[in-house]
Amino acid sequence: MANLLIVEDDDLLRDGLTDLLRQAGHRIDNCADGLSAKDALEAQQVDAVLLDLGLPKLDGMDLLRWIRQRFETLPVMILTARDSIDDRVEGLSSGADDYLTKPFNNAELTARVQALLRRASLPATQKDTGNASNGLRMDPDLPRVWIHGVASELTQREWELLSLLQQRMDKVVSREDVTAAWQNESAEPLASNALEVYIHRLRRKIKGSGLNIRNVRGLGYMLETL
């Protein structure tokens, strides 16, 4: 089961695709224009996008370019009636992972979506540094985390700190380790209680994930499962 976003302005087709892929066991969110698709992608975790090219408000090709800047590895399948060679080439060179021309066969569409997700899951799994049994997933590209599929924005420093803790899950990370990681990234001097402040904020931001940052007195901090 995957979270799929369908972006299609034709109501009948959008509803049909939604039903079809729900029956295939996926969670579906759908949008009728490019701008609301952007909002949907910012607000939740999406595993793959089915994208029509001719869209109101923001064209599908422009949305695709935006997706590639923002979510480098998110799988995108273009669904379009435009079947000329030029459109195919433009779609693929703009970063689409697959291309299906309307009208399409339902069984083929379902199979191609499965193939897209299967291919995507290989690198995505390797990039997941966390324990799959908890509800926290670090975004590999942007300073944010997903807690049970809901985005939580972090500062760059919070993200660095949490990455470090997560890489060493169930092991103590010392104050010196954190300071060293932060120094690589900024020359700004840190207040003496800065680490405590960041830990405090992170604890609030990862609340509900099933993970906790434990204070190991005299040694440092440890990320553990609750």
At 176, which amino acid appears?
Answer: E
CB of 92 to Ca ion, least distance (A): 19
Task: Determine the interface stretch with Ca ion among 23-31, 52-60, 152-160, 183-191 (rule: CB under 5 A).
Answer: 52-60
User: Residue 202 and residue 144: Cα distance in Å, rounded?
Assistant: 11
Task: Determine the interface stretch with Ca ion among 43-51, 54-62, 83-91, 184-192 (rule: CB under 5 A).
Answer: 54-62
Cross-strand pairs, 145: 138, 152
Q: Does 33 bind Ca ion (CB under 5 A)?
A: no
Is residue 12 classed as helix, strand or coil in its secondary structure? helix
Q: Does 54 bind Ca ion (CB under 5 A)?
A: yes
When binding is defined by CB under 5 A, the residue of 33, 47, 52, 97 that contacts Ca ion is 52
Strands (E), the chain: 3-7, 27-31, 48-52, 76-80, 98-101, 136-138, 144-147, 150-153, 172-173, 211-216, 220-225
147 and 164 in contact (C-beta within 8 Å)? Answer: no
78 vs 147, which CB is nearer to Ca ion? 78
82 vs 168, which CB is nearer to Ca ion? 82
13 vs 24, which CB is nearer to Ca ion? 13
126 and 101 in contact (C-beta within 8 Å)? Answer: no
Q: Does 59 bind Ca ion (CB under 5 A)?
A: no
Q: Does 9 bind Ca ion (CB under 5 A)?
A: yes
Q: Which residue is at the shortest CB distance from Ca ion?
A: 54
CB of 166 to Ca ion, least distance (A): 41
56 vs 123, which CB is nearer to Ca ion? 56
9 vs 177, which CB is nearer to Ca ion? 9
- Residue 190 CA from chain centroid, whole number: 31
Torsion sign over Cα 109, 104, 20, 35: positive
Task: Determine the interface stretch with Ca ion among 9-17, 112-120, 123-131, 152-160 (rule: CB under 5 A).
Answer: 9-17
User: Residue 1 and residue 77: Cα distance in Å, rounded?
Assistant: 17
Binding site for Ca ion (CB under 5 A): 9, 52, 54
